[in-house]
């Protein structure tokens, strides 16, 4: 970072100019304070839980130069490792006119659709794969009559990934990336990306040093109402010998993603396809800390629908980027201005089945070849997943809005040790939403969700129901209050509870400053965003979030 500062300062001086010092100075400050106090549960064990987190992001721009930093005070933090001090900082030169951008410090970046490079932060998931280093890109258009657009980018730095399942486990990578894109004519864009990284991957008993090489090629094509995108990435990881892996490993994998969209008035159709084989391994070698797995700076498209429904989101499909093939089709149809229909269907599975044998008392798995491994299989041994979602929205008039949906999820988790103990989960959910404007300022919103679950490996009843009711009243533009209740007849609920009640009030002081306070019980469960899934433990107590922006 020290080496790049003189260059940025030189660029700054030239942009300002000695003849005329015309300074365009802007400053902004964002602050988020989060507090929680109550009881958290781990199965049937309850214990006190308190957190206090404050994040302050400051930014100062002077002409084409931007300075930024984040001060964090998280003691105690809700999830992760306590921290007090400057967490992020950067200096950036951004000349829009010349198409040049240089940044030193902390940054996030996504290239293409993320098959080889997609680092981002999601505070709701307590997930951060940001890089501390340098990045620079340049874009330019050559020619006027037949313009050709080019973009080149290089980046490098250090990535420290904290495993949110075990915050004390940290993977550290030094990453180098080079990217180039060219658009020879308006309808076509072609790009290539290459990532080289070396780092350390700790396991429960050892730490493995690795080197990774990831080339990628992609293209997009747009013609009238048709859009097509495709990207292919190769991955090779080599390990240095240690106690856990005395013989060096050279593991290869790859990934393919493509998307085809067609749109016309009142109708839009999108078809996505994924074939992720970044680390095909035997059933007994699928731990999340293996050194040959998909690396933290990768994050391809999930090719499954992300839901806003509370109950549907409780059973998310956890995408296995190392071994998953699947597809998704999404259709949006609006026959009238006040009516919209959405249908989404997704299917996915592993690529191969495995046979189990015993050699000298040791269990050995052998892959069974499958000629159609480029398509998902619905046989149980491939751990298939499929989902069908249908939704209709209807604006009855200016005051009344309704939405009705149906979702069906089928998921199999195959057990190679005991196939009869394989889990087969079938979930049907019907969410209903109604919004009614009482006056110009006051609005009522009702949400009712009913869910029927069937799980074959349960000890007692194989089926149970979940129900959710939520009532909200809001006064535009600054205040809203919500009360929600969730009940279940699940006799095997891990916490032993059958009902959860939560109240929440939100107040906007103005368009950029707000306070949200909630109190009650939260059921917890899996929470997934952008393919990143984390288990949220049940919580009972007070939560408050104060957001300010100046």
Q: What is the mean pLDDT of residues 24-28?
A: 93
Confidence band of 461 (pLDDT split at 50, 70, 90): very high
State mean pLDDT over 229-233.
Answer: 98
The pLDDT of residue 14 = 52
pLDDT tens-digit map of 62-114: 999 999 999 999 999 998 889 999 999 999 999 988 899 999 999 999 999 99
For residues 476 and 443, the answer to whether their CB atoms sit within 8 Å is yes
Percent of the chain with pLDDT over 70: 96
Q: What is residue 5's predicted lDDT score, i.e. its pLDDT?
A: 52
- How many beta carbons lie within 10 A of that of residue 205, not counting itself? 8
pLDDT over 70 (residue 142): yes
Residue pair 45/3 in contact by the 8 Å Cβ criterion = no
Amino acid 6: pLDDT: 53
The single-letter DSSP state of residue 538 is: P
Q: Is 389 exposed, middle or buried (0-12, 13-18, 19+ CB in 10 A)?
A: buried
The whole-number average pLDDT for the span 374-379 is 96
pLDDT confidence of residue 18? 44
Higher per-residue confidence, 534 vs 501: 501
| Region 130-139 average pLDDT | 97
Give the pLDDT band of residue 361 (cuts 50, 70, 90).
confident
Phi-psi region for residue 88, left (φ > 0), alpha (ψ -120 to 50) or beta? beta
**Measured in whole angstroms, how far is the alpha carbon of residue 347 from the centre of its chain?**
19
Peptide bond connecting 547 to the previous residue in cis, omega within 30 degrees of 0: no
Has residue 230 got a pLDDT over 90?
Answer: yes
pLDDT of 75 reads 94
Summarised one tens digit per residue, pLDDT across range 513-547 is 999 999 999 998 888 888 888 888 999 999 999 99
Q: What is the pLDDT of residues 290-337, one digit of tens each?
A: 999 999 999 999 999 999 999 999 889 999 999 999 999 999 999 999
Predicted confidence (pLDDT) at residue 20 exceeds the cutoff of 60: no
Residue of higher predicted confidence among 146 and 134: 134
**In the block, which residue shows the tokens 């269990």?**
363
Secondary structure (DSSP) of 354-420: EEEEEETTEEEEEEEP-TTTTS---SGGG--EEEEEEEEEEE-SSSEEEEEEEEEEEEEE--SS-GG
Average pLDDT on 398-413 reads 97
The pLDDT assigned to 96 comes to 87
Q: What is the DSSP string of 469-512?
A: EEEEEEETTTEEEEEEEEEE--TT-TT---EEEEEEEEEEEETT
Where along the chain do its domains lie? 108-256+292-297
Query: Residues 484, 502: contact at Cβ < 8 Å?
Result: yes
Furthest C-alpha separation in the chain? 83
Residue 11 has pLDDT above 70, yes or no: no
Q: What per-residue confidence (pLDDT) applies to 288?
A: 86
What contacts 24+ positions apart, CB below 8 Å, involve 49-53?
49/539, 49/541, 50/76, 51/76, 51/77, 51/78, 52/76, 53/77, 53/78
Q: Per DSSP, which regions of 203-338 are E strands?
A: 207-223, 226-239, 250-264, 267-277, 324-336
Q: What is the total residue count of the chain?
A: 550
Cα pseudo-dihedral 514, 516, 517, 521, rounded to 10? -170
Residue 399 CA to residue 270 CA, distance in Å, equals 32
Q: What is the DSSP letter of 112?
A: T
193, 263, 194, 255: which is closest to 228 by C-alpha? Answer: 263
- The number of helix segments (H) and strand segments (E) in the chain equals 1, 32
pLDDT at 264 over 90: yes
What is the pLDDT, as a whole number, of residue 125?
Answer: 81
The mean pLDDT of 369-397, rounded to a whole number, is: 97
| Tokens read off for 418 | 């005991």
Q: What is the mean predicted confidence (pLDDT) over 354-379?
A: 91
In this predicted structure, the answer to whether residue 375 has a pLDDT above a threshold of 90 is yes
The predicted pLDDT at position 166 comes to 79
320 contacts 350 by C-beta, under 8 angstroms: yes
Secondary element (H or E) of residue 430: strand 423-437
Q: Is the predicted pLDDT of residue 191 greater than 60, yes or no?
A: yes
Which residue, 218, 242, 247, 222, is CA-closest to 230? 218
Residue 247 C-beta-side C-alpha neighbours within 13 Å: 2
Helix, strand, coil fractions of the chain, as percent rounded to 5:
5, 65, 30
pLDDT for position 168? 83
Contact 521, 537 (CB under 8 A): no
Average pLDDT rounded to a whole number, residues 465-478 = 96
The pair of structure tokens assigned to 252 is 């290869």
* pLDDT score at 205: 83
């Amino acid at each position: 970072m020290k080496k790049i500062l003189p260059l940025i300062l030189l660029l700054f001086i030239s942009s300002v100019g000695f003849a005329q010092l015309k300074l365009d100075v802007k400053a902004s400050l964002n602050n988020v304070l989060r507090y929680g106090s109550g009881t958290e549960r781990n199965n049937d064990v309850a214990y006190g839980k308190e957190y206090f987190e404050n994040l302050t992001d400051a930014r100062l721009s002077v002409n084409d130069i931007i300075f930024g930093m984040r001060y964090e005070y998280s003691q105690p933090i809700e999830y992760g490792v306590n921290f007090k001090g400057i967490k992020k900082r950067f200096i950036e030169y951004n000349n829009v006119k010349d198409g040049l951008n240089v940044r030193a410090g902390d940054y996030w970046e996504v290239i293409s659709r993320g098959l080889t490079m997609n680092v981002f932060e999601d505070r709701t998931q307590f997930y951060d794969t940001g890089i501390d280093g340098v990045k620079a890109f340049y874009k330019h258009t050559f020619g006027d009559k037949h313009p050709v657009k080019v973009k080149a980018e290089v980046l490098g730095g250090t990535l420290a990934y904290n495993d949110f399942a075990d915050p004390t486990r940290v993977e550290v990578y030094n990453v180098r990336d080079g990217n180039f894109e060219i658009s020879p004519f308006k309808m076509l864009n072609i790009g290539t990306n290459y990532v080289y990284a070396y780092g350390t991957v700790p396991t429960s008993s050892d730490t493995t040093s690795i080197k990774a090489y990831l080339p990628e090629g992609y293209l997009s094509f747009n013609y009238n109402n048709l859009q097509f995108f495709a990207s292919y990435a190769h991955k090779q990881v080599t390990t240095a010998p240690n106690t856990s892996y005395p013989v060096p490993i050279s593991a290869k994998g790859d990934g393919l993603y493509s998307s085809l969209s067609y749109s016309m008035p009142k109708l839009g159709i999108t078809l996505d396809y994924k074939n992720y084989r970044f680390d095909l391994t035997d059933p007994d070698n699928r731990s999340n800390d293996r050194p040959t797995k998909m690396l933290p700076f990768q994050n391809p498209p999930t090719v499954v629908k992300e839901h806003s429904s509370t109950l549907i989101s409780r059973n998310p499909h956890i995408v296995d980027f190392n071994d998953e093939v699947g597809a998704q089709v999404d259709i949006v149809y609006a026959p009238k201005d006040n009516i919209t229909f959405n249908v989404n269907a997704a299917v996915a599975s592993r690529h191969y089945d495995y046979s189990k044998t015993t050699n000298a008392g040791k269990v050995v798995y052998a892959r069974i070849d499958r000629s159609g491994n480029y398509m998902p299989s619905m046989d149980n041994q491939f751990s298939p997943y499929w989902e069908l979602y249908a939704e209709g929205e209807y604006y009855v008039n200016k005051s009344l809005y309704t939405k009705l949906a149906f979702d069906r999820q089928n998921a199999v988790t195959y057990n190679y040790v005991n196939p009869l103990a394989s889990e087969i989960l079938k979930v049907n959910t019907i969410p209903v939403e109604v919004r009614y404007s009482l006056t110009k300022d006051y609005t009522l919103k009702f949400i009712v969700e009913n869910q029927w679950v069937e799980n074959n490996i349960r000890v007692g009843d194989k089926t149970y129901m979940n129900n959710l009711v939520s009532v909200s009243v809001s006064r535009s533009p600054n205040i809203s209050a919500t009360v929600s209740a969730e009940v279940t007849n699940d006799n095997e609920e891990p916490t032993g509870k059958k009902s959860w009640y939560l109240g929440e009030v939100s107040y906007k002081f103005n368009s950029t400053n707000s306070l949200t306070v909630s109190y009650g019980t939260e059921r917890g469960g899996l929470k997934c965003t952008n393919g990143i899934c984390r288990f949220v433990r049940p919580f009972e107590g007070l939560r408050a979030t104060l957001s300010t922006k100046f």
